[in-house]
Chains A and B, each alone.
Chain A
């Protein structure tokens, strides 16, 4: 019954705005999270390996990888990717530094150094990495057909 309603809605939407249903599928986005594990090699040296964890412990270093690809037939303009940070994770920087962040749940955005954090008692101080609640990448150019990339940021389990 529910499925039928959804179908009807989809058809209705397609009729109302032709092309909408197609456009909704022309960019794919995937998220992966890895944890850094220190592995001892047979020769006695240690190496840091990335593993896809099912479980972690406080203090573990996580690497978040967001992949995007335009699989449609038209460019995607004004493309941006947002990753709200899980509450249990403290932000630890991105690989390229091109991101903007928010420390207030997505209200104000900017580079971390430009933001301030208001404490519960009203004190205002410069924002810290651990204050970050959202990370966003804004692309100034449109995402052309077939183009893809990945965005990487790091965090620590609180």
Chain B
């Protein structure tokens, strides 16, 4: 005995319109069942509004030959499960300078429920347990969905007017831009939290909102409480440079007298402190009056540099001053420069 009748049907009112009566449109029913089967494999579970129809079938041989009978069909509708997660997309602390404005932290909001749902977003910069609070927080939605904040492209979030409406299992990137206080000091951290709450409702898992579910059933709060939040952190990474200059005199008679003809070796030590780095650090020094620069005498960390500005090395002499480009110097490191002049 072969069974060719399809006795289980799953349909989604949202996707496929009102329930199609079995037998009248067999092909349409089969297609919808297949489509729903794919959706059902998602993490969010069976899509809200899906009807689960169950019918058993019996076969036997009666006196007149084989008989097939169907049971009644039991129909159960899948309710909307309200679930959301928020995850910081920043790989670690976001390094900033004190006083910097519109600094970006990045988050991803995911609808882990099984129905379409809109979410209210809130930024909290006043979390306890951190070292300082940022100000002027503004939430932006990643309009072009590239995961990076683009000024002028990504749109400002305004609660109640453009709450992100997410399909089951889909996500949106969200940015919070806020200002770093000028008084924040090196090494201090600030927590910036984004929370997302299902607009239909939130609360203890299992809380039910009658008739408000996507697809016409109830909406039931899932294990996340329909309320998700996560934090990113700003870290102040400041750096300062201190420059110490010293001079050593060697005269032509073997002594250390500052007489005409004596050679003065100047030493410049640049010391960078703090947890950050200084970028594009340059050291310049004018040749003192009544002295003459000794050609090709610049050294950096003991290695000679040329006077030419045209070559690739870091040193130059422009006729009145020497200059050395140190590039990026991280906190905790020093750079030592020397050059020589003779007293006129």
Contact = CB atoms under 8 A, between A and B. Distances in A.
Nearest to A107: B2
Contact of A31 (B33, B54, B64, B67): B54
A76 B62 contact: yes
B36 interface: yes
B69 A157 contact: no
Given A66-B71, A157-B46, A57 B54 contact: no
A143 interface: yes
Contact of B8 (A20, A78, A85): A85
Given A27-B69, A84-B7, A79 B40 contact: no
B54 A77 contact: no
Interface string A20-50: 1011101111111101000000000000000
B60 A72 contact: no
A81 interface: yes
A117 interface: no
B76 interface: yes
Interface residues of B, number: 49
Given A78-B59, A158-B40, A17 B65 contact: yes
Contacts of B287: none
Contacts of B41: 158
A110 interface: no
Contact of A106 (B3, B65, B67, B78): B3
A24 B67 contact: yes
Interface string B67-108: 101111110111111000000000000000000000000000
A29 B56 contact: yes
B7 A157 contact: no
A4 B53 CA distance: 30
**In terms of DSSP, what is the predominant structure of the interface of chain A?**
strand
B64 A18 contact: yes
Given A32-B74, A106-B3, A19 B64 contact: yes
Contacts of B36: 87-88
B10 A87 contact: yes
A20 B66 CA distance: 9
Contact of B59 (A19, A79, A84): A79
Contact of B78 (A56, A77, A83, A151): A56
B57 A53 contact: no
A29 B70 contact: yes
Nearest to B82: A57
B8 A31 contact: no
Interface string A112-153: 000000000000000000000000000000110000000100
B40 A88 contact: yes
B114 interface: yes
Contact of B52 (A24, A29, A89, A143): A89
A151 to B, nearest CB: 8
A34 to B, nearest CB: 10
A58 interface: yes
A20 B62 CA distance: 8
A144 B288 CA distance: 120
B330 interface: no
B318 to A, nearest CB: 69
A88 B50 contact: yes
Given A23-B67, A56-B76, A86 B56 contact: no
A17 B67 CA distance: 13
Given A86-B8, A87-B36, A158-B45, A29 B58 contact: yes
Contacts of A89: 52, 54
Contacts of B23: none
Most interface-central of A66, A72, A87, A151 (chain B CB within 10 A): A87
Q: Which 7 A-B pairs have the closest CB atoms?
A: A58-B45, A23-B62, A20-B64, A76-B60, A31-B71, A88-B46, A79-B60
27 contacts: A17-B64, A19-B62, A19-B63, A23-B65, A29-B58, A35-B76, A56-B78, A56-B79, A57-B220, A59-B45, A64-B54, A76-B67, A78-B60, A79-B58, A81-B56, A82-B56, A83-B54, A84-B6, A84-B57, A86-B9, A86-B53, A87-B10, A87-B36, A88-B36, A88-B46, A88-B78, A157-B52
Interface of B: 1, 3, 6-10, 33, 36-37, 40-41, 44-46, 50, 52-67, 69-74, 76-81, 114, 217-218, 220, 222
Interface of A: 17-20, 22-24, 26-33, 35, 53-59, 62, 64, 66, 68, 72, 74, 76-89, 106, 142-143, 151, 157-158
